[in-house]
Structure 1
Amino acid sequence: MTTEQKGSTGMAAPFTADLTGKTAVVTGASSGIGRAIAEEYLRNGATVVGLHRRPVTTFGGKYVPALADLSDPAQVRAAAAGVLREHRVDILVNNAGLNLRHPFEDFPFEDWDRVQQLNVRTVVELTQLFGRPMLERGSGVIVNLASMLSFTGGFTASAYAASKGAVAQFTKSVANEWAGRGVRVNAIAPGFISTEMNVALVADETRNRQILERIPAGRWGCAEDIAGAALFLASDAAGFVHGTVLPVDGGYLAR
């Protein structure tokens, strides 16, 4: 069964929200979870600025591409400045991420640093850069993409687990500072989602079976499952939600 077939067994929640007049920045919006979030925001009326390396031409609606290599701090700062010159940003989704796997005893520190740079430093810097104008206005929403490895350790993913643990704690800390100033900061912790990052796991018959046996919902998640949660957290329905790390995992962590 392909990753698409596994993901297609899920049903996106019939939740809608009026994001008309709002502008959302979504990192890593060219594919996978980031693309699904961008499309969900567009369907609900938002203008979406997508920060990503690869050009995309298939988006409809009010989509604005902003090409940048988010692993490069100079490009991160330049991209944010360019977006803020043209847009009032109401929502920031820090989705872009990287997982490089090695047994820890052989983990090359070059790869470790690459993971931390994109998964932690870029998230921190974009939150600060886009968050400052939100604080000045007294309104805004930030949604970070954590992981179930924010809670568990995983295998051969020590750099990724460390980075996503940092994202979860960073989310809580900033929420403590900004909740009373009108800016909501939350995170989503996806479970096993059928995306490009997990193709190898899906193809591994033994590991795939073990994963499915652990998921009470009995299926892999799909990108749309995460997009529904991201829409909720961006909406007024989540007006009293601050500092949460929301698992969207089919019940994996509950077992």
Structure 2
Amino acid sequence: MEKEKQSCNQHLFDLTDKVAVITGGASGLGSYYTKALLSAGANVLIVSYDDQGVKEMNTFASEVGRRIEFLKLDITQEYAALTVSSEVIKRFGKVDILINNAGIQIRNDWQNFQDKDWEKVINLNLNAVYYLSHEIAKVMDKQIGGKIINVGSMQSFRAGKFIFPYTASKHGVIGLTKSYADALAPLNIQVNAIAPGYIDTPMTKALQENKTRNDEIIAHIPAGHWANPSELMGAIIFLASNASNYVTGITLPVDGGYLLR
């Protein structure tokens, strides 16, 4: 009986031969989402505006015996969402999982914030999420099911006085997640979001090396440390797998308890 329970539990998280689309999935935190899905058995189409991380992802996919493809594309361009949808069907024949990960952050004080920077951030962080989800949902509807996972942030819940469009976009992503979850639930499409906390990456090194800010951040995290990027992988697998079939419209903070304080 114990072996049967273990087999059942493992099956719930098994992604063998599922097809995932991940925007920005070859570098940064996106590369960890990609590795998580590949390790669980999925095949992946990475959509990225450049070639950063392509070699590493190819090597990893080969090591775990899974298939990976790349589509070099600026997803803020007109008809980009339709291109992604067409390409994943052309290359894989289906799509089971969409992870809207690609994003950008631009900092400035309110007096000097540029309109062009507002538009750049909103177009990538929010508009592209809407359009791509819309096109991929059409495919998932025909397949009778799928998973859409959006990437939020601690700024989905908090203010950011130097990152106005980023904060607005990440709040918007959560609203969009809920709206799509409600609309697509009858089609067996679950739509959820993940909200990473303070993660130890090259992009956050300067913040970690600022002793005053680092001490403030650590004091705010009950777990007492910055997360290793690998600590996001379990949450992604959960939301992408059958284990979350009755979970939709949620935003899952992976923050070591940061939002508790």
TM-score, normalising length from structure 1?
A: 0.90
1:109 lines up with 2:115 in the alignment: yes
Match of 2:55 among 44, 54, 57: 57
Against the structure 1 CA distance between its residues 33 and 15, is the aligned structure 2 distance closer, same or farther, given a 3 Å change threshold? farther
SS in 2 for 1:104: coil
8 Å Cα contact 2:12/2:242 also seen in 1? no
Give the equivalent residue in structure 2 for 1:173.
179
Matching residue of 1:20: 16
Displacement, 1:16?
8.1
Letter in 2 for 1:86: R
SS in 2 for 1:156: coil
Which residue of the partner structure matches residue 70 of structure 1? 75
2:26 pairs with 1:30:
yes
Contact 2:96/2:146 (<8 A) preserved: yes
Q: Residue 41 of structure 1 aligns to a residue in which SS? A: helix
- The alignment status of 1:140 with 2:167, answered yes or no, reads no
* Aligned-pair CA distance for 1:164: 0.2
Aligned equivalent of 2:234, options 214, 223, 228 = 228
Structure 2 gaps of 5+ residues are 1-9
4+ runs deviating over 6 angstroms: none
| Structure 1 residue 48 displacement after superposition | 0.8
Alignment partner of 1:57: what SS?
A: helix
Compute the displacement of 1:190 (Å): 0.8
1:80 aligns with: 85
Q: Which residue of 1 aligns with 2:5?
A: none
Counterpart Cα distance in 2 of 1:98 and 1:116? 9
Deviation per residue, 1:50-75 (Å, 9 max, x gap): 11123211222311111112232344
Say which SS state the counterpart of residue 25 (structure 1) adopts: strand
Contact 1:73/1:122 (8 A) holds in 2: no
- Alpha carbons 1:16, 1:44 under 8 Å: kept: no
Contiguous gaps of at least 5 residues in structure 1: 1-13
The size of the alignment, in residue pairs, is 242
Does the C-alpha gap of structure 1 residues 28 and 214 become closer, same or farther in structure 2, counting only changes over 3 Å?
Answer: same
Instruction: Quote the residue 1:238 is aligned against.
Output: 244
Tell me the secondary structure at the aligned position of residue 105 of structure 1: coil
Contact 1:29 1:52 in 2 (8 A): yes
Q: Sort the Cα spacing of 1:132 and 1:111 in 2 relative to 1 into closer, same or farther, 3 A.
A: same
Map of 2:7 onto structure 1: none
**For residues 15 and 30 of structure 1, do their structure 2 counterparts lie closer, same or farther at Cα, with a shift above 3 Å needed?**
farther
Q: Is the 8 A contact 1:68 1:76 kept in 2?
A: no
Matched residue, 2:258? 252
Question: What residue in structure 2 maps to residue 40 of structure 1?
Answer: 36
* Amino acid paired to 2:55: T
Distance apart, 1:105 and its partner CA: 2.3
Report the Cα distance in structure 1 between the residues aligned to 2:218 and 2:76, rounded to whole angstroms: 33
Alpha-carbon RMSD: 1.7
Q: Is the 8 A contact 1:217 1:250 kept in 2?
A: yes
